[in-house]
Amino acid sequence: MTMAKTEDYSSLFLENQLCFPLYAASRLIIKAYQPHLSKLDLTYPQYLVLLVLWEEDYLTVSQISHALMLESNTLTPLLKRLEDKGLLKRTRDKDDERKVFVTLTSYGKALREKAVCIPSEILKNVEVLDLDEMKVLYDHLGKLIKHLK
């Protein structure tokens, strides 16, 4: 009888996966946003779209897609729901029908005033990290994202 070769499967342990703490932290942070966003009748992805437009209004769908790293087939339903809520308006370019511009409505612009406190409220949930640690984490995540893109 021969001995079965013992394989080292430790690379498959959950605790050895880089993806898991990123996934878990992302889920928990998004969960922390939910009580604040529900008051505004927004989902987290809708909030991200608004963040992009609050920073720079009148963008193409392609520009928003690039900023959020979302495919247009994911972004388009988000934009439709936000348009149905009266927060933004989509218009086709007169010269190029393929190009769609997105702009905030007055309601979408006004919602920014109600959302301005959300980032500081979220920071209270991550008090375990000081500002320097958060900056380092943000920089490292940015470096990782840039590499993976």
Residues, the chain: 149
pTM of the model: 0.89
Cβ-count burial 30-58 (b if 16+ within 10 Å, e if not): eeebeebbeebebbebbbbbbebbeeeee
Six token digits for residue 144: 């990782």
In this prediction, residue 54 carries a pLDDT of: 98
Contact in structure between 84 and 73 (CB atoms under 8 Å): no
In this prediction, residue 126 carries a pLDDT of: 82
Sign, CA dihedral 119-82-89-70, equals positive
Class of the CATH-defined domain 43-114: mainly alpha
Domain ranges across the chain: 43-114, 117-149
10-residue block means of pLDDT along the chain (149 residues)? 66 94 96 97 98 98 97 96 98 92 98 97 88 94 95
